[in-house]
Amino acid sequence: MFENLLHKIKSHTLSEEFKRLYHGRGEEEFKFLTLDSIDEILFVQFYEESNYEKDLLDLFKEYIQTSRHNAIIVKRRYGNETFAALGEIPENYTAIENGMKFKLNFLNQNIGYFGDMKNSRKFIESISKDKKVLNLFAYTCGFSLFARRGEAGYIANVDMSKSVLATGMANHQINGLDIKNISFWPYNILKAFPKLKKQAPYDIIIIDPPTHQKGSFIASKDYIKIIKKLPSLSHQNTTLLACINSPAFSKEELINMIESNTSFRFQKQIPNPEEYTNSTLKSLVFNIQ
Ligand SMILES: C[S@@+](CC[C@H](N)C(=O)[O-])C[C@H]1O[C@@H](n2cnc3c(N)ncnc32)[C@H](O)[C@@H]1O
Alpha helices in 208-250 (DSSP H): 219-233
In angstroms, rounded to a whole number, what is the distance separating the alpha carbons of residues 92 and 206? 29
Residue 151 backbone phi and psi in degrees, to 5? 70, 40
pLDDT the model gives residue 149: 98
Residue pair 21/8 in contact by the 8 Å Cβ criterion: yes
Q: Which atom of ligand 1 is nearest to the CA of 164?
A: 27
Cis, peptide link before residue 201, omega less than 30° from 0: yes
In angstroms, rounded to a whole number, what is the distance separating the alpha carbons of residues 114 and 14? 18
Q: Which atom of ligand 1 is nearest to the CA of 135?
A: 6
Class of domain 2-90: alpha beta
User: Digits of tens for pLDDT over the chain (289 positions)?
Assistant: 888 999 999 999 999 999 999 999 878 889 999 999 999 999 999 999 999 999 999 999 999 999 999 999 999 999 989 999 999 999 999 999 999 999 999 999 999 999 999 999 999 999 999 999 999 999 999 999 999 999 999 999 999 999 999 999 999 999 999 999 999 999 999 999 999 999 999 999 999 999 999 999 999 999 999 999 999 999 999 999 999 999 899 999 999 999 999 999 999 999 999 999 789 999 999 999 7
3-state helix, strand, coil in the chain (%, to 5): 30, 30, 40
Distance from Cα 53 to the centre of ligand 1, integer Å = 31
Ligand 1 pocket, residues with Cβ under 6 angstroms: 114, 117, 137-140, 142-143, 159-161, 164, 188-190, 208-210, 213, 216-217
Distance from Cα 284 to the centre of ligand 1, integer Å = 17
List the Cα angle 105/107/112 in 5-degree steps: 35
List the Cα angle 180/93/77 in 5-degree steps: 110
Task: Kindly state the DSSP code that residue 246 receives in the 8-state scheme.
Answer: -
Domain boundaries defined on the chain: 2-90, 115-288
Alpha helices in 11-78 (DSSP H): 53-63
Buried b (16+ CB within 10 A) or exposed e, 155-186: bbbbbbeeebbebbeebbeeeebeeeebebbe
Give the residue whose CA is nearest to atom 27 of ligand 1.
Answer: 139
β-pair partners for 220: none
Residue pair 210/189 in contact by the 8 Å Cβ criterion: no
Residue pair 123/146 in contact by the 8 Å Cβ criterion: no
In angstroms, rounded to a whole number, what is the distance separating the alpha carbons of residues 143 and 133? 9
Tell me the chain's radius of gyration from C-alpha atoms. 20
Class of domain 115-288: alpha beta
Single-letter residue type at 80: N
pLDDT the model gives residue 27: 83
